[in-house]
Structure 1
Amino acid sequence: MGQPLKKVRSGLNTRLGFFILAVLLFGIKSYFAYKTKFSLGVSGGMQNLLLAFNPFPFAVLLLGLALYMRGRKSYWFMLLIDAIMATWLFANILYYREFSDFLTFNLMKGSSSVSNNLNQSIAGIVHPTDFLVFLDVVILILLLAFKVIKVDTRAFKFRYAALVSGLAVLLFGANLSLAETDRSGLLTRTFDNNYIVKYLGLEAYTVYDGVKTTQNNATKANANSSDLTSVKNFIAKNQATPNVEYSGVAKGKNVFIIHLESLQQFMIDYKWDGQEVMPNIDKLYHAQDTLSFDNFYNQVGQGKTADAEMMLENSLFGLPEGSAMVMDGTTNTFQAAPAILGQHGYTSAAFHGDVPSFWNRDNTYKSWGYDYFFSKSYYPNSKKSSYNLGYGMKDKIFLKDSAQYVQRLPQPFYAKLITVTNHYPYTIDSQNKSIEPFDTGDSTVDPYVQTARYLDQAVGEFMNWLEKTGLDKKSMIVLYGDHYGISNNHKPAIAKLLGKKKVTNYDLANFQKVPFMIHMPGLKGGINHTYGGEIDVLPTLLNLLGIKDQDTIQFGNDLLAPGRNQTVAFRNGDFVSPTYTKYGADYFDHNGKELKHMTNEQRQAIDDMQNYVTTQLSASDKVINGDLLRFYQPEGFKKVIKGNYNYKKSTALKQLKKKTKKNSTSLMSQNDHKSTMSDYETDAPELKK
């Protein structure tokens, strides 16, 4: 045994030997992370082989760069490259744990817009074993520091270094070739980053994302009006005729959009700890004058809340990577709900109890045509730390303080209120807890019920104020969940919440449902079973308001329209429908039975759905990436002039004061210019103090 060990040690004391050790340790570490830290949907011998193999091509290429250097510099550069790759892997582990996706250049470019209040979230995400991704770096440093491995200062011939680089290219070529045999069109047809990492590795995915980002930037620079032709053809072919029965039933009404942060459909009518978790929202959901949708899905990508807002107010999908609000909100041309309604006599206002730069809202809302944006500086209570939690003001305090501005808005108005307390990591102070946590044993999931209950109480208080002031009779109130609260990385907890032993991909697809309801006195309501998603909200609301939008660029359809296409696209290219569901690599029929051996008829139907979804997502991406709406103006629509909007507090309040004078249509003006805040009742313990 002594002789072989001596040979191994002798080999490690050469630069090539140290390089081979570094590559092997990196490959083992990466495989460990892929298998334990990500849910890549690996199945079969080929995919497992590729998962183990794919770290090596880029490890050989990047670590091999050190072989071109001389002496000790070569070793230190190798350690530096290894440490950078370990840090990148670590960052992706943390991001993936909460968002089930990988970091992108667009996301990092916009990180300053979403970094506020992240410290608490990161602390809750990190697991001790995550730091094992740095173990190989530590081992190599210790081996050198204690001279277990000696530095080889001899020159490493250039041609040998070049051979190593050539080997890396050959290894990647083999990797890509094998991947294509298992997943054809891997780099041209996928909307799911998991596939790239599963087949080619995290480093290859990063390069792919960088190339794609550069191409997208070039696309915008080279776009022209002719690019709209295919987009308009798709919309014309798939546009459904709005429901005539509901056309204009809310004409002239105020519109409230109440954003229910991270709230999922499974919480509707959910009972826990012997109680109804959300009695106020449940009551609205089942009211005879509420249109409720029980097959309504979130369709967000990496932008999460920002994607939901993009779809809700533009009927445009978020981007496959990053946030369109961050990347394009400042510069792109939009034809959004605030501008559309503003040109029909509406005052528009957005309310958010956090900093205005979050998700680049302060710039995007100008592009969308919002008259007012009431952000953190408008709320005196936002300065008190006990009134804030996580990503902004606590919902009860936020909604009460928002009411003071709502009462001053000229009617009719379009008002969006963004709640935040039911946001990861779902922590809330003890004085605001009114229900016991779930008992799944998952520390992330269990407090979700407590913040959801708090959100429900806040909504109930706001609805009571609307009723007392009579605003409810003059308004159409829309409530929606923006995206999932519990990610697919918590499968055992999800199974327990759903009363199942184990969840399938079909269960996870349906776990993407979020509440969507439209409440208005006199509205012909009921629970509607049509399949739809956030992309369909704008055309639905415009039809109810009696505003024609047949010539606009919108990718959704009226949820009430008969004969509408009920195939709902997820951002990664998966889909659900009343007949078939695709989620991950699995296909299911309407009963949730997995289709392992399809008939020709089933295959054709599924292929048609996939083609529709892929074309829809691609066309929407083309509109945003190319800023194509700058080349198109619907009939009667005036282009938004961003310079006309100013969200500076002093300027906005001065403008609002002018509009609440004697002839104003605001609630406060109609109340003899007296505040209605005495009608607002809240049990928020902070305000009682």
Structure 2
Amino acid sequence: MNKLTNQYKSISKMGFFYIAGIMLWIKSYLTYVFEFNLDIQNVMQEFLLFINPISSVLIFLGFALFAKGKRAGIWIIVLDFLMSFLLYANVVYYRSAADYITLPTLTQTDNFGSLGGSILNLMAWHDLFYALDLIVLIGLYFWNRNNWSNSRMGFRKPMLVIAIGVMTFCVNLGLAEVDRPELLTRTFDRNYIVKYLGSYNFAIYDAIQTAQSSRQRVLADSSDITVVENYTTNKYAAPNKELFGAAKGKNIIKIHLESFQSFLIDYKLHGEEVTPFINSLVHNEKKNFTYFDNFFHQVAQGKTADAELIMDTSLYPLPQGAAFVTKGNNTYQALPAILGQKQNYTSAVFHGDNKSFWNRDEVYKHFGVDKFFHAKYYDMNKENVINYGLKDKPFFKQSIPMLKSLDKPFYAHMMTLTHHHPYLIDEDEASIKPANTGDPSVDRYFQTARYLDESLKQFFKDLKEAGLYKDSVIMIYGDHYGISENHKPAMKQITGEKITDFKHTQLQRVPFMIKIPGVDGKGTVHEYSSQVDVMPTMLHLLGIKANNYIMFGTDMFSKKHDEYVVFRDGDFVTPEYTKASGKFYDNDTGELIKEPTKEMKELEKKVLHELELSDNVLYGDLLRFYEPSESWKQVDTSEFSYLKKEK
């Protein structure tokens, strides 16, 4: 009788497998629905979202069935844990970046130390849900293992399970191709892969793409850069004759406004201007600055590192990972090196964080950056540090002596940090109350923006006292969005509008303003432009022809400037219409354009081609084959060292 009772209560190894598979399947599906914004638009997409975890579950857990005896149960638990860990890691990453982890991002381990506080802030108590099935499985294993045979299961069952998994994937992919043709060959958006094929299959797709990109460098040759050169030569916009060389010989101070979006400008919270000083620069009565109010960021997974890449090389970021990490040893013809070789500029980066963050201590050498003032150069005591690193006020204050020490003319890049997710600030330094949307990240966003504004005001005062303001080009820009699409309900309260795909794209404006000594500012300029346009603009202001180098942007002051803004996922913006999440919208009305014109479709193809060419440059390291028409010496990285010499 006891024997019969135990048999009745026990679960077979296959039963254990089915329970594990069903729980992992349902957990994955619920994660897709509640954690990721996958923009499900029809019944087919909803069905594919529901079934796409099945193939991965059957195939990966199916391999555990080959294990002998009770080990099969252990391997099921181990594989379930690994898949659950990948799923949860994507959840946490998505909450911050509205994106998915790729192999290149996993190589960025030097960044993890600085990200610790931010990651903890992204976790919630209900995340215990992601471990619930593992707890159940472990309990079931110990309850049933003594009733399992010690022999190995026949090969037929495991092979059948895996075969069903493969067939399920083929059906899944076939249906996905019906709804989204050329899904795996033409898409620039990871969201589509996850929506149609799932996060586990995306990880495999990403691994294949990463391997292919490595192979691309090996197979590349000098003919590949000729194709790119022909394209960028045809795109070149001649300089504005009145401004060409207007800034030659002047110092350049480039100020990076971390996570600063343009909607902050003139925004009032609780009846107060959030950024009164920056507003005063935009509306400057002395007509010093030119402000571009339709300037957009173009970053991808590399965020700030991508912004640095784009603005100093006029290349687009990679679709996966950060070029600073995965292509940090490439040959570059970056703005610091060009200015150093052509006009004897001293280049320097100022950043109150560890020098290895985003692999900067290596990639800056390839950019030709002469000096890198990192955390070792600053007083990083606990009163001065919050979140990612040095607070902006002590950062700017401590940077003044280092700025004064540079040989002139110099190109100085000042990188702020405090206005970064999760937007932490000490109570005694918060001079404006938080918003009250109920979303902590959005609510605090305005407090750190005010702190950044106050920091910048003090920095301008210190520059003037140090005699560095009057004769310097001052460039101010926002590097990337601060509030991702995961915060749409809160942003609806802030903007007073529903955050549609169109509206979210419009919110990707970041500030860009510039003061040129001896040149009257143009006030607010409404031309559409982006980060990729900054390098050719700066070269022309310094009297250096941009068509001597490979660049995908065009001079923002040129009468021939191209007014379309390319985003990494293949979407884009023009003055008349916007392509957002694969659909076209009218800029004036925000309404969907159901039948895109021939012009729109042609620009769509051009944008994808442009991204492909830029990718080829980075993946193939093609600039190693390119020699500008004017004298150019490839950067010798051995000439640079960013170790602080102790006194």
> Do the aligned partners of 2:314 and 2:552 also contact (CA within 8 Å) in 1?
yes
Structure 1 CA distance for aligned equivalents of residues 615 and 20 of structure 2? 41
Residue 60 of structure 2 corresponds to which residue in structure 1?
A: 62
Q: CA deviation at 1:439?
A: 1.0
Q: CA deviation at 1:408?
A: 1.4
Q: Does 1:646 align with 2:646?
A: no
Name which of 505, 513, 521 aligns with 1:509.
505
- The residue matched to 1:650 in structure 2 has which SS? coil
Name which of 332, 335, 339 aligns with 2:333.
335
Residue 318 of structure 2 corresponds to which residue in structure 1?
A: 319
Letter in 2 for 1:415: A
Q: Does 1:173 align with 2:170?
A: yes
Q: Which moved more, 1:153-162 or 1:480-489?
A: 153-162
TM-score, L = length of structure 1: 0.90
Letter in 2 for 1:466: L
> Do the aligned partners of 1:333 and 1:627 also contact (CA within 8 Å) in 2?
yes
Counterparts of residues 470-481 of structure 1 (less than 5 Å): 470-481=467-478
Structure 2 CA distance for aligned equivalents of residues 87 and 584 of structure 1? 28
- The residue matched to 1:648 in structure 2 has which SS? coil
Name which of 203, 208, 211 aligns with 2:200.
203
Counterparts of residues 552-563 of structure 1 (less than 5 Å): 552-563=549-560
Q: Does 1:604 align with 2:576?
A: no
Residue 291 of structure 2 corresponds to which residue in structure 1?
A: 292
Structure 1 CA distance for aligned equivalents of residues 641 and 334 of structure 2? 18
Letter in 2 for 1:623: V
Counterparts of residues 522-541 of structure 1 (less than 5 Å): 522-541=519-538
Letter in 2 for 1:33: T
> Do the aligned partners of 2:586 and 2:593 also contact (CA within 8 Å) in 1?
no
Structure 1 outlier segments of 4+, above 6 Å: 9-12
Residue 309 of structure 2 corresponds to which residue in structure 1?
A: 310
Letter in 2 for 1:322: G
Q: CA deviation at 1:11?
A: 11
Q: Does 1:613 align with 2:607?
A: yes
Letter in 1 for 2:277: N
> Do the aligned partners of 2:435 and 2:446 also contact (CA within 8 Å) in 1?
yes
Structure 2 CA distance for aligned equivalents of residues 149 and 586 of structure 1? 57
- The residue matched to 2:475 in structure 1 has which SS? strand
Q: CA deviation at 1:247?
A: 1.2
| 1:367-390 deviation digits (Å, cap 9, x = unpaired) | 1111111111112x22x1111111
Residue 69 of structure 2 corresponds to which residue in structure 1?
A: 71
Q: CA deviation at 1:592?
A: 4.0
> Do the aligned partners of 1:506 and 1:588 also contact (CA within 8 Å) in 2?
yes
Residue 670 of structure 1 corresponds to which residue in structure 2?
A: none
Structure 1 CA distance for aligned equivalents of residues 297 and 147 of structure 2? 56
| 1:507-550 deviation digits (Å, cap 9, x = unpaired) | 10011110110023433321111111111111111111211121
Residue 364 of structure 2 corresponds to which residue in structure 1?
A: 365
Counterparts of residues 137-536 of structure 1 (less than 5 Å): 137-147=134-144, 151=148, 153=150, 155-287=152-284, 288-329=287-328, 331-343=329-341, 344-379=343-378, 381-382=379-380, 384-500=381-497, 502-521=498-517, 522-536=519-533
Structure 2 CA distance for aligned equivalents of residues 590 and 437 of structure 1? 31
Residue 627 of structure 2 corresponds to which residue in structure 1?
A: 633
- The residue matched to 1:479 in structure 2 has which SS? strand
Structure 2 CA distance for aligned equivalents of residues 150 and 241 of structure 1? 80
| 1:33-64 deviation digits (Å, cap 9, x = unpaired) | 00001001111100000000000001000000
Q: CA deviation at 1:151?
A: 3.5
Structure 1 CA distance for aligned equivalents of residues 194 and 432 of structure 2? 41
Residue 677 of structure 1 corresponds to which residue in structure 2?
A: none
| 1:159-212 deviation digits (Å, cap 9, x = unpaired) | 222122111111111110000000011111111111001000111100000011
Q: CA deviation at 1:630?
A: 0.6
Structure 2 CA distance for aligned equivalents of residues 74 and 320 of structure 1? 38
Q: CA deviation at 1:129?
A: 2.4
> Do the aligned partners of 2:300 and 2:317 also contact (CA within 8 Å) in 1?
yes
Q: CA deviation at 1:503?
A: 1.3
Q: 1:44 to 1:149 in 2, by over 3 A?
A: farther
Residue 51 of structure 1 corresponds to which residue in structure 2?
A: 49
Q: 1:264 to 1:170 in 2, by over 3 A?
A: same
Q: CA deviation at 1:436?
A: 0.3
Q: Does 1:39 align with 2:34?
A: no
| 1:113-148 deviation digits (Å, cap 9, x = unpaired) | x11222211111012222312222222222233449
Structure 1 CA distance for aligned equivalents of residues 71 and 593 of structure 2? 55
> Do the aligned partners of 1:75 and 1:151 also contact (CA within 8 Å) in 2?
no
Letter in 1 for 2:394: I
| 1:594-625 deviation digits (Å, cap 9, x = unpaired) | 32521xxx332221121121111111111111
Letter in 2 for 1:615: H
Letter in 2 for 1:548: K
Identity %: 43
Q: 1:150 to 1:570 in 2, by over 3 A?
A: farther
Q: CA deviation at 1:242?
A: 2.2
> Do the aligned partners of 1:424 and 1:485 also contact (CA within 8 Å) in 2?
yes
Letter in 2 for 1:304: K
Q: 1:304 to 1:592 in 2, by over 3 A?
A: farther
- The residue matched to 1:427 in structure 2 has which SS? coil
| 1:556-596 deviation digits (Å, cap 9, x = unpaired) | 11112223221211111111111221111432012243325
Residue 82 of structure 2 corresponds to which residue in structure 1?
A: 84
Letter in 2 for 1:110: Q
Q: Does 1:576 align with 2:573?
A: yes
TM-score, L = length of structure 2: 0.96
> Do the aligned partners of 1:13 and 1:152 also contact (CA within 8 Å) in 2?
no
Name which of 614, 622, 638 aligns with 2:616.
622
- The residue matched to 1:386 in structure 2 has which SS? coil
Q: CA deviation at 1:153?
A: 4.5
| 1:285-325 deviation digits (Å, cap 9, x = unpaired) | 22212111111111000000000000011111111111111
> Do the aligned partners of 1:472 and 1:520 also contact (CA within 8 Å) in 2?
no
Residue 24 of structure 1 corresponds to which residue in structure 2?
A: 22
Q: 1:537 to 1:11 in 2, by over 3 A?
A: farther
Q: Which moved more, 1:266-275 or 1:37-46?
A: 266-275
- The residue matched to 1:649 in structure 2 has which SS? coil
Q: 1:434 to 1:226 in 2, by over 3 A?
A: same
- The residue matched to 1:266 in structure 2 has which SS? helix
Letter in 1 for 2:215: A
Equivalent residues, number: 638
Ranges in structure 1 where 5+ consecutive residues have no aligned partner: 1-5, 654-689
Structure 1 CA distance for aligned equivalents of residues 157 and 118 of structure 2? 47
Q: CA deviation at 1:271?
A: 1.2
Residue 662 of structure 1 corresponds to which residue in structure 2?
A: none
Structure 1 CA distance for aligned equivalents of residues 208 and 31 of structure 2? 25
Q: Which moved more, 1:277-286 or 1:418-427?
A: 277-286
- The residue matched to 2:608 in structure 1 has which SS? helix
Q: CA deviation at 1:155?
A: 4.0
Q: CA deviation at 1:643?
A: 0.7
Q: CA deviation at 1:149?
A: 10
| 1:458-507 deviation digits (Å, cap 9, x = unpaired) | 1111111222333222111000010001111000111111122x211111
- The residue matched to 1:616 in structure 2 has which SS? helix
Structure 2 CA distance for aligned equivalents of residues 639 and 594 of structure 1? 49
Q: 1:564 to 1:465 in 2, by over 3 A?
A: same
Letter in 2 for 1:370: V
Structure 2 CA distance for aligned equivalents of residues 142 and 52 of structure 1? 27
- The residue matched to 1:349 in structure 2 has which SS? strand
Q: Which moved more, 1:304-313 or 1:422-431?
A: 422-431
